[in-house]
């Protein structure tokens, strides 16, 4: 079976780790729709290449193609897809809206959670379908102890982006804060259904179940 040129670019990247060269080479021959189509290739190396490169240059439009790879038979494909999804989730909306999202994320990184919520409110008023903006607000609300509001935002994130395993994890932790182990278990199970590679979540879920059994 003839390998696509993309696979050769990917194998060269593994040798030299030159992301700029990989992006340049790919841009000369491939559009995003073509890269998305190659995520269904029968060749694992080609799926790996497509998953990696979409994380570098893809837009939010690649979310579905990458999301399906979370359940790929090849572990490297799954892990590359997970990382690339995290990269593309903030790439929705206009350039200014993306910049506003990054500002929210910066506020969270320095624990300015009230300001993060304020900025997120403004952005979501303008673009209510921006799933990652809503997810970041959920993170800030959780940090402020507004667990019910955080859960509400996370549930809406999953409505907008069914591949957002991070939102399902966040909901699980919020339910734990509310002493609702049953719903927390449901949320962690949902996260694992979306992304079976979350071993830390799997271990956490096992601990919760064990603790619940001890108390019953």
pLDDT digits 0-9 by tens, 152-164: 999 999 999 999 9
The CA–CA distances, whole Å, from 156 to 59, 71, 78 equal: 21, 23, 25
pLDDT at 209: 85
pLDDT, average across residues 83-90:
98
In this prediction the pTM is: 0.93
pLDDT at 216: 56
Domains of the chain: 5-88 (1.25.10.10), 95-215 (1.25.40.10)
Cβ atoms 7, 37 nearer than 8 A:
no
Is the CA virtual torsion 10, 13, 19, 23 positive or negative?
negative
């Amino acid at each position: 079976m003839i390998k696509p040129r993309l696979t050769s670019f990917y194998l060269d990247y593994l040798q030299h780790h030159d992301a700029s060269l990989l992006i340049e080479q790919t841009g000369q021959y491939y559009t995003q729709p073509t890269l998305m189509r190659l995520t269904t290739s029968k060749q694992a190396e080609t799926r790996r290449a497509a998953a990696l490169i979409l994380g570098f240059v893809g837009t939010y439009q690649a979310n579905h193609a990458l999301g399906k790879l979370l359940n790929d038979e090849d572990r490297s494909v799954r892990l590359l897809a997970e990382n690339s999804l995290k990269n593309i989730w903030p790439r929705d909306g206009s350039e200014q809206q993306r910049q506003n999202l990054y500002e929210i994320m910066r506020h969270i990184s320095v624990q300015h959670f009230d300001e993060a919520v304020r900025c997120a409110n403004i952005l979501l008023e303008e673009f209510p379908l921006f799933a990652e903006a809503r997810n970041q607000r959920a993170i800030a609300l959780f940090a402020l102890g507004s667990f019910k509001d955080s859960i509400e935002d996370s549930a809406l994130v999953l409505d907008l982006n069914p591949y957002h395993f991070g939102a399902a994890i966040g909901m699980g932790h919020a339910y734990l804060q509310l002493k609702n182990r049953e719903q927390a278990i449901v949320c962690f199970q949902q996260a694992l259904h979306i992304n079976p590679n979350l071993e830390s979540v799997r271990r956490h879920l096992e601990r919760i179940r064990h603790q619940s059994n001890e108390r019953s």
